[in-house]
Structure 1
Amino acid sequence: MHRLFWKIFLSFWLTLVVFAALLLFAVSTYLEHTRTQQDIGSMRARLAEYLDQAQTAAKQNGIDGLEAWLSRLDRREAIPIFLIDESGEDLLGREVPAYIVTRLDRRRQHAERMERKAPAHLRSIRLADGSSYRMVPDFQSITLLRVLQRPRVIALPVTIAALISALVCLLLSRYQTFPLERLRRAAQHIAAGDLTQRVSPSMGNRRDEIADLAGAFDKMAERLEKVFSSQRQLLSDASHELRSPLTRIQVALGLARQRSNGQAENELDRIEIEIERLNELIGQLLELSRLEAGVDAGRTDKVDIRELLEGLIEDGQFEAASRGCRVELRESFPAIVQSNARLLHSAIENVVRNAIRYTKPDTTVEISMLPDTDRQDRILVRIRDRGPGVPDEMLLHLFEPFVRVEEARDRTSGGYGLGLAIAERAVRLHGGEIMARNEPDEGLSVHIRLQLAGT
């Protein structure tokens, strides 16, 4: 239980422990290294340089300048460096360790000889008033707190510890988030209609809540795939089976006309209209089933979009004229796409017919070809009507089967809510995108993005 909880807890805890251990190790190594530098030439050179700086400061600004220089040095140097006068007091008033006082007392007995041969770190700094100070480094008083309080000294150990800890955190974060990223991509594929996605194989030997989630996700995807596959099969089978009864009804209708002697023409005409509607609906259902199954998607040709749109406009003018509107191609340019010509023609035709059906009388359904501003390897086909549009909350659902907006698409319009669904699936099969939006002035526009051939 709560295996992921313990992984996250232990990961953060381990990272903090590693960071603290590395920091302490780096600081302790630095302290030990510094304590052993009394006899190292590099440290002697630094002290000689400090002595020259102190003498320069004393010569230029006297005791005040020397005190200011020592204060600056103490703030940045990890090794305490004292300037001790003849009475044994430090210039900054700090407490002088006993071992330094003892050492100075012994050397004071041989002052003349030391003045000539003393090492750099015990030489005197003389002021104009005749007073003198000895520079003495205190290697034994280096503490962790002193090191931590000096950024220049602690910067390198902290940087090393932070980089190593960052690497540990990066590996742990990658281990924890990679399966979640895989789940996200699989969910996006399923949302786009690819129900074959499975996640468990990419989990390896994980045995935690994420692996359990991946297993549950795969079961859900498998169940959805079976349900949708059964639904598509049922839709296809039912549509096929309905064709035979409809054919027999049409034959029976012809016989009824012959035997009625014109006494039931109105009723028979109504029956014929409803049969034609049923036949159209079944045809659309079969088309939708074929698109859902991906039939004919692999058979592609190079299609001239401008030529296709010009043919659609010529066909659409007949239907538009009967409704008192027009269809025009406003903008176009040569463009070739690789697609199934029949499916693409059907997709755009459904959108155009839908626009003709709902545009207002004496208006124009505008069709335009535009370059895609987001990607140069795609084109945009825009179909705009001058109708009432749709509620904004319905825009994302317009391309679902049997979705109808009551205010704009009533039953007398002759639609079944399948035309835009067929168009969406046909466009998606060709790697394109389709979306709808309400225009600010009036009407609905449908945007179809298609991939150009050879890109």
Structure 2
Amino acid sequence: MSFWLNKTNIKQVLSSRLFYKAFAGFWLTIVCIFLLLVLFTRLQGELLDNDPLHGRHLDSLKHLKRNIVRLVENKNRTLQEAVDHPRLSRHSMILLVHDNVDKTVSTENNDRNLNLSLLNDLGDQNTPSQIRTERYIAYGPLDISLNQDAYRLYQIRQLPRPMLFHSIRMLPAWMKLLAVFIPSVILSVFLTIYLITPLNTLSRSARRLAQGELNVRAPTNSQRKDEVGQLIHDFNFMADKLTHSIQAHKQLLADVSHELRTPLTRLNLANAMAQDTASDATQNYLARIEKESQCLDKMLADVLTLSRLEYTDHSLTIEPISLSSLLQELLLNAKFEAQQHNKTLSNNAIPDIELSCDAILLTSAIENITRNAIKYANTHIDFDIAQNAESLIICIKDDGQGVDDSALAELGNAFYRTDSARARQTGGIGLGLAIAKRALIAHHGDIQFTNHQPHGLTVTITLPL
């Protein structure tokens, strides 16, 4: 509770545009409910309700009855003269209801044209009640016999102004519920759409940004100045800064990798010259230097390749090529490499279809994935090729240890390596799968990593036809 009563929080809430919009929406709903109730009272016409009559009002009505009987029977006044008597009708009207409407008598001072027919419609109600309408209050009836005719006596008091809230209270329950339901639902829907739609759009943009779409931005509305609009503006500002930072990081990595190739080339040249004049004792050291230099050169080449693929404006050399031409030599080389490690690689028939792709880049991607499977398999690798109406699907399965489920989503990220079977002693720096993934994305394809039973990793490549 102390958190909400904090002065700083109260000031922040009171200065919030969204607070005033929600506040206005709440009171607009209340006003609409009230106006709809008023409309229903006008459409429904004049209503009435009643409560049992007791106390001084009942005593007053009985006293009025006695006076009317005295005037008519003892002083031989007519019924109209009796109900118009100044002393009796000074502060109220008198109504004598007969079953024959033509014999009904009322005070003639009905200058406000009160609708007294409502009392006629009550029929045989005999229990005295306090009957309320929008414009008057009637007390009665009391049975009274005058000139051998049976009447029902009402005493009526005009109200200075229509009782609006009383009319609303007399509405049927279903009308009251409808008056509350309609504005509440309509205004709640509009308010919800107004608040939730930009938040849903922002949420989708955040997910796409997290998935690597650095150019995605949430649509802005210059008319919106509340906290939601500010949140969208801050998100886009953050996305701009993040994109700039990532691109600067990638550019730095590419520039450093490129610049390192020049001294590496000189190192290789100096090493080759040294080997020509070196003694047998130093040849082993120079050979080791050459081997490590080649590994470093391969790493730099992979970094440069990945850097080029990560730029959206990287152009591909798209040409039509048959799938058998693309995969046949790759599979032959892969089977030979597997044999060298005492493993086997099997594949099904290659479909006779044609792809439009960058053959060198796509072959390199599939080869990276296949060699990765050979490296981590225990004894066998399956290379399955299938197609449907829209895509080509290649599944490469190994029977190795697989990957922890928590690490599957990280495969394909640059420089990511698992900690168990796929450890650093197997070689590489974690760029092979990253390059393959970027190459497939550049071809509008997809790559998925899953563990299969009883053990091993399955890499599924999907390419559009």
Q: Under a length normalisation based on structure 2, what TM-score does the superposition of the two structures give?
A: 0.68
Partner of 2:247: 229
Q: Which amino acid aligns with 1:9?
A: A
Report SS of the residue matched to 2:212. coil
1:148 equivalenced with 2:172 (yes/no): yes
Contact 2:220–2:229, Cα closer than 8 Å, also in 1: no
Partner of 1:184: 203
Number of aligned pairs?
363
Partner of 2:7: none
Matches within 5 A, 1:293-304: 293-294=311-312, 296-304=314-322
Contact 2:382–2:398, Cα closer than 8 Å, also in 1: yes
1:192 Cα deviation from its structure 2 partner:
2.7
1:197 equivalenced with 2:216 (yes/no): yes
- 1:259–1:298 Cα change, 3 Å: closer
1:168 equivalenced with 2:187 (yes/no): yes
Contact 2:384–2:395, Cα closer than 8 Å, also in 1: yes
- 1:143–1:213 Cα change, 3 Å: closer
Contact 1:22–1:161, Cα closer than 8 Å, also in 2: no
Find 1:270's aligned residue among 278, 282, 288: 288
CA RMSD between the two structures: 3.4
1:439 equivalenced with 2:452 (yes/no): yes
Report SS of the residue matched to 1:431. coil
- 1:190–1:331 Cα change, 3 Å: farther
List runs of 5+ in structure 1 lacking aligned partners. Answer: 36-77, 112-141
- 1:338–1:160 Cα change, 3 Å: farther
Report SS of the residue matched to 2:200. helix
Deviations 1:156-193 (A, max 9, x none): x7547634543333332222223222322322332232
Separation in 2, partners of 1:347, 1:400: 14
Contact 1:299–1:339, Cα closer than 8 Å, also in 2: yes
Separation in 1, partners of 2:322, 2:211: 27
1:105 Cα deviation from its structure 2 partner:
7.1
1:288 Cα deviation from its structure 2 partner:
0.4
1:429 equivalenced with 2:442 (yes/no): yes
Partner of 1:327: 345
Q: Which structure features the higher share of helix residues?
A: 1
Contact 2:382–2:397, Cα closer than 8 Å, also in 1: yes
Partner of 1:352: 370
Q: Which amino acid aligns with 2:408?
A: L
Contact 1:404–1:417, Cα closer than 8 Å, also in 2: yes
Partner of 2:399: 386
Separation in 2, partners of 1:80, 1:351: 95
- 1:181–1:11 Cα change, 3 Å: farther
Partner of 1:139: none
Deviations 1:79-136 (A, max 9, x none): 997552xxx63xxx7959667848997999499xxxxxxxxxxxxxxxxxxxxxxxxx
1:419 Cα deviation from its structure 2 partner:
0.5
Separation in 2, partners of 1:413, 1:274: 15
1:368 Cα deviation from its structure 2 partner:
1.7
Is 382-391 or 334-343 further displaced after alignment?
334-343
Separation in 2, partners of 1:109, 1:399: 104
- 1:96–1:256 Cα change, 3 Å: closer
Separation in 1, partners of 2:279, 2:287: 14
Partner of 2:464: 451
Partner of 2:27: 14
Structure with larger Rg: 2
Report SS of the residue matched to 2:281. coil
Report SS of the residue matched to 2:347. strand
Q: Which amino acid aligns with 1:250?
A: N
- 1:345–1:160 Cα change, 3 Å: farther
Deviations 1:42-87 (A, max 9, x none): xxxxxxxxxxxxxxxxxxxxxxxxxxxxxxxxxxxx9997552xxx
Report SS of the residue matched to 2:280. coil
- 1:287–1:31 Cα change, 3 Å: same
Partner of 1:61: none
Q: Which structure features the higher share of strand residues?
A: 2
Contact 1:331–1:367, Cα closer than 8 Å, also in 2: no
Report SS of the residue matched to 1:399. coil
Report SS of the residue matched to 1:264. helix
Partner of 2:414: 401
Separation in 2, partners of 1:196, 1:170: 32
Matches within 5 A, 1:248-327: 248-294=266-312, 296-305=314-323, 307-327=325-345
1:366 equivalenced with 2:382 (yes/no): yes
Separation in 2, partners of 1:262, 1:339: 50
List runs of 5+ in structure 2 lacking aligned partners. Answer: 1-11, 49-117, 132-137, 152-165
- 1:94–1:109 Cα change, 3 Å: closer
1:26 equivalenced with 2:44 (yes/no): no
Separation in 1, partners of 2:290, 2:147: 127
Partner of 1:115: none
Report SS of the residue matched to 1:317. helix
- 1:4–1:323 Cα change, 3 Å: farther
Report SS of the residue matched to 2:449. strand
